[in-house]
Amino acid sequence: MERVNLFFLHGFLGRPTDWEAVKAALPKSDRLTIYTPDYFKEKNLNPNHNFTSWAQNFNRWVQMETNGTDRNVLVGYSLGGRLALHALEQKPALWYKTILISTNPGFNDPLKAFDPSSEDRRLRWMNDSYWAEEFLKSSWETLLRNWNAQPVFGGGEEEPQRIEKEYSREALGLALTNWSLAQQKNMRPLLQELSSKICFAVGERDEKFVALAEQLRRDIGNLRVELIPEASHRVLFDRPKDLAEKIKSLIQQLL
């Protein structure tokens, strides 16, 4: 009998344990297996790899874990969602559904990677490079306070406690540059092509991403967009049970 495998990809500064409340609200079934890889620590998945090689390595690992026969569902939050897009692009047949939470599909331009001729990309590269330096040299407490003070994180629950010894500062800095939005190509064509496989979820209080989701829905008529009530950018911490319900609605028929 076919099994369902859920793969959860955390965000920047995230940990596999970030998904615990979401996992706890999902149905219990011996045919459901949940994976929460710590991609910052796995040799083949860490930020030493660019988007393309990361996706190849991740999909290869998924195939080894599942024997390529089950229904695989990919759930990515923020940076994890952007990585998920690359995995989906690289091997769409491997994935039954993909749920993108607070995920930026990239700049709406034809560029394949960073190009200083693009003002938007140049500014993003400067911003990510600044933070990469901060993650290498600033005191941990100051760094977290300044990071969490960014407007995109406003209006929601705080992240769980982040303990410095659980991270490699070098890996965090590298993620900000190797996986910078400035380096990512526009994934809107992929959303259009594979819209039947994709659910785009945002918190209703996340003004920037709600606007992005509404534009995507106008441009891609059959793209499934879900607004999570009373949630900000950090949906998985604000409303984990509501998020679990959205996931459940996609997998329930398979269990």
Q: Report d(CA 234, CA 216) in Å as an integer.
A: 20
Quick one: pLDDT band at residue 56, thresholds 50, 70, 90?
A: very high
Q: Report the pLDDT averaged over residues 204-208.
A: 95
| pLDDT at residue 156, rounded to an integer | 67
154: number of CA atoms within 13 Å, CB side?
6
Average pLDDT value over all residues in the chain: 94
Per-residue pLDDT at 74: 98
Q: What is the mean pLDDT of residues 135-158?
A: 90
Instruction: Tell me which of 72-81, 232-241, 246-255 is least confident.
Output: 246-255
- pLDDT score, position 21: 96
4-109+185-254 CATH fold: Rossmann fold (3.40.50)
Q: Report how far apart the first and last C-alpha atoms of the chain are (Å, whole number).
A: 10
Predicted confidence (pLDDT) per residue in 182-202, tens digit = 999 999 999 999 999 999 999
In the chain, % of residues over pLDDT 70: 98
pLDDT at 252: 81
**Mean pLDDT computed over 26-38:** 93
Residue 13 has pLDDT above 80, yes or no: yes
The pLDDT of residue 254 is 74
CB-based contact 81:103 (threshold 8 Å): yes
* Secondary structure (3-state) at 74: strand
The whole-angstrom separation of Cα 140 and Cα 128 is: 17
Instruction: Tell me the average pLDDT across 173-180.
Output: 98
Mean pLDDT, residues 217-226: 94
Nearest to 92 by CA among 219, 215, 224, 192: 192
Q: Is the pLDDT of residue 154 over 90?
A: no
Task: Dig out the tokens for 137 from the structure.
Answer: 């040299």
Band (pLDDT 50/70/90 cuts) for residue 255 is low
**Cα–Cα distance between 227 and 220 in angstroms, integer?**
16
Query: Would you place residue 158 in the very low, low, confident or very high pLDDT band (cuts 50, 70, 90)?
Result: confident
Number of Cβ atoms within 10 Å of the Cβ of 156: 18
